[in-house]
Amino acid sequence: MKLYLCEKPSQARDLARNLRISGKGNGFIGDNSIAVTWAIGHLIQQLDPDEVDVKYSNWKMEHLPIVPETWKMKPNAKTKKQLTVVKGLLQKSNHVVIATDGDREGEVIGRELLDYFEWTGNIDRLWLTALDDNSIQKALNNLKQGSETKPLYAAGLARARADWLVA
């Protein structure tokens, strides 16, 4: 299955219309050969300090800085249902097109899900800067290889982890 991963439902509807996909499922548009789904922003988030180690439940100056040995993620409680949908679609997919917003944060939203579920397969990037039909068609005709935009993911992770360290 080829899966397009969008950032939000409205973006997924616009993309599905341009791909001429009409079948609807729970949390996605498409069928068993091609589907478009969405992330509703960040479906996962970094653990809170007290989830990294219970000793951080009580804030103490001598604990600082708190630097996790491994950076772990957890489901966002508000969007667990959609996370389950994405997981199921990824299990059926061998090709993902990250179709989130064309920026660093969009890259993180898409790739953090692939990493979280330890998904491996072919990755392409649909670089969307506008959601009008002409812009979507132009982007569909000019897919980037996933490797081209992976550095944006590294930059986004660095920013998120730096925010966690100083927040």
Read off the pLDDT of residues 51-89 as tens digits, 9 standing for 90 and up. 988 888 887 888 888 888 889 999 999 999 999 999 999
Work out the angle between the directed axes of helices 80-92 and 104-116 (0-180°, nearest 10): 70
State how far the Cα of 121 lies from the Cα of 136, in Å rounded to an integer: 24
| pTM recorded for the entire structure | 0.92
Cβ contact 159:166 at 8 Å: no
Tokens read off for 80? 């667990």
pLDDT at position 57: 86
State how far the Cα of 157 lies from the Cα of 108, in Å rounded to an integer: 7
pLDDT at position 58: 86
pLDDT at position 28: 98
Domains of the chain: 2-166 (3.40.50.140)
Backbone angles phi, psi at 149, to 5 degrees: -110, 0
pLDDT at position 52: 87
Digit-coded pLDDT (tens) for 83-124? 999 999 999 999 999 999 999 999 999 999 999 999 999 999
The percentage of residues in the chain with a pLDDT greater than 70, rounded to a whole number, is 99
State how far the Cα of 152 lies from the Cα of 149, in Å rounded to an integer: 6
Most confidently modeled range among 79-88, 122-131, 156-165: 79-88
